[in-house]
Amino acid sequence: MARIDVNHVRHSYLPNPRTDADFALREVHHTFEDGGAYALLGPSGCGKTTLLNIISGLLHPSHGQLLFNGRDVTNLSTQERNIAQVFQFPVIYDTMTVYDNLAFPLRNRGVPEADVDRKVRETLEMIDLASWAKKKARGLTADQKQKISLGRGLVRSDVNAILFDEPLTVIDPHMKWVLRSQLKQLHRRFGYTMVYVTHDQTEALTFADQVVVMYDGGIVQIGTPAELFERPRHTFVGYFIGSPGMNVMPVAIDGKTATLGSQRIELPGAPKADSGAIELGIRPEYVRLGRDGMAVSISKVEDVGRHKVVRAKLEGRDIAAVIGEDETVPAEPKVRFDPAGINIYADSWRVEMGA
């Protein structure tokens, strides 16, 4: 168990990186608190796996430093860092039995056989493969292999941290849910530092206390799920988190008023933005559809179960609004923006509002 400081880490896979574009990780500077459960969220290719591999020591960063509990481990091997990692693509030792696969990380570290047996049985129970213990791992299905891969990450309880790289992609939804709650339980019981990479925002939001959103080789925001939802620091976070994503539209600002085409929108305060491309962001959940406000033309209404998503055009731009299951769209629809949900962005980064 450890606090992990990632100090100004940059990484490039190229031998002689010159521009920023050559870096798979532009700069990551962040502390993973001891015992925290973090979800790492971001689009494909943004550097999530690279960051995990640097933490576990499979990759040596081009620049920067890594501290475990304040001790510099940048030059320590994976073994010495004592970290468990579950890979994006399941790795199993297919000449071994399921049991031996799980015992492998323990036996390699010279754990007494009695402890090995206890830990392995416990883990087998957890991943629901107890009856498969004596089977060769070779003949298993893809999701069973992924469970074994996951199990090998969980079998050691003395690790500094466990890193999960999309560990549940091929597991069916129900089992996914079960395993996720077991991971949470384990986390409470042993208090490891956990970092969990995923593409899936619901998975991230349910698993983690803190969600780290990565974009294009850097961290754009770290926060609780609520913070990410209410106050996205970057328009990317607004798009990426939430379904549908945040509405972002270019506006002109004058004091406490924003102008969108011919419409004027009252803001909760005066944004401290004087330069750059100014945009207004509002989540569909804060767009009120009714009989007064700005006129829109409806293009589509999607019923997604608990609520409806209304797609419309406002001043020629696409906008989404969320309305309740029982609400109906008025004949001459208009929208208002709830001031509580308005964020202003300058060059894609959020700016604070003054009084």
Contact set with ligand ATP (CB under 6 A): 13, 24, 42, 44-50, 88
What three-state secondary structure class fits 128? coil
Cβ-proximal residues to 288 (8 Å cutoff; 6+ apart), any chain: 321, 335, 336, 337, 338
Structure tokens at 87: 């890979």
User: What one-character-per-residue DSSP string does 238-255 give?
Assistant: HHHSSSS--EEEE-EEET
Query: Does residue 85 interact with Mg ion by CB under 5 A?
Result: no
| Cβ atoms of 257 and 339 closer than 8 Å | no
Q: What are phi and psi of 239, to 5 degrees?
A: -65, -45
The most distant pair of C-alpha atoms in the chain lies apart, rounded to whole Å, by: 75
Q: What's the min distance (Å) between Cβ of 43 and Mg ion?
A: 11
Task: Please report whether residue 4 would count as binding another protein according to CB under 8 A.
Answer: no
Comparing CB distances to another protein, the nearer of 115 and 347 is 115
CB nearer to another protein: pick between 83 and 273: 83
CB of 84 vs another protein, minimal distance in Å: 6
DSSP 256-272: TEEEETTEEEE-SSEE-
Q: Which is nearer to another protein, 109 or 188 (CB)?
A: 109
Any contact of residue 6 with another protein (CB under 8 A)? no
Q: Is 13 in the site for another protein (CB under 8 A)?
A: no
Q: How far is the CB of 353 from Mg ion (least distance, A)?
A: 37
Using CB under 5 A as the binding rule, whether residue 123 contacts Mg ion is answered as no
Torsion angle, alpha carbons of 45, 49, 54, 58, to 10: -120
For Mg ion, the closer of residues 49 and 56 by Cβ is 49
Is 94 strand, coil or helix? coil
**What is d(CA 17, CA 236) in angstroms, rounded to the nearest whole number?**
26
Residue 87 CB, nearest approach to Mg ion (Å): 9
CB of 61 to ligand ATP, least distance (A): 12
Q: Give residues 111-140 in contact with another protein (rule: CB under 8 A).
A: 136
Q: How far is CA 239 from the centre of its chain?
A: 13
Give me the least distance between CB of 24 and ligand ATP, in Å please: 3
Residue 193 binding another protein, by CB under 8 A: no
Q: Indicate which of Mg ion, another protein, ligand ATP, none lies near residue 50 (CB less than 5 to 8 Å, by partner kind).
A: ligand ATP
Q: Among residues 48, 1, 36, 6, which one has the least CA distance to residue 240? A: 48
24 is in the binding site of which of ligand ATP, another protein, Mg ion, none (Cβ under 5 to 8 A by kind)?
ligand ATP
Q: Which of 301, 303, 282, 293 is nearest to 333 (CA)?
A: 293
Residue 42, interface with another protein (CB under 8 A)?
A: no
Nearer to ligand ATP, 26 or 334 (CB): 26
- C-alpha triplet 123, 175, 54: angle, nearest 5°: 65
3-state secondary structure of 310: strand
Contact track, another protein, 63-92, x by CB under 8 A: --------------xxx---xxx-xxx-x-
Q: Considering only CA atoms, which of 22, 4, 5, 3 is closest in space to residue 14?
A: 22
Least distance in Å: CB of 208 to ligand ATP? 17
Reduced to 3 states (helix: H, G, I; strand: E, B; else coil), residue 221 is strand
Smallest separation (angstroms) from another protein to the CB of 124: 17
- Range 23-82, binding Mg ion (CB under 5 A): 49
- Site residues (vs Mg ion, CB under 5 A): 49, 88
- Site residues (vs another protein, CB under 8 A): 53, 56-58, 77-79, 83-85, 87-89, 91, 93-96, 104-105, 108-109, 136, 149, 152-153
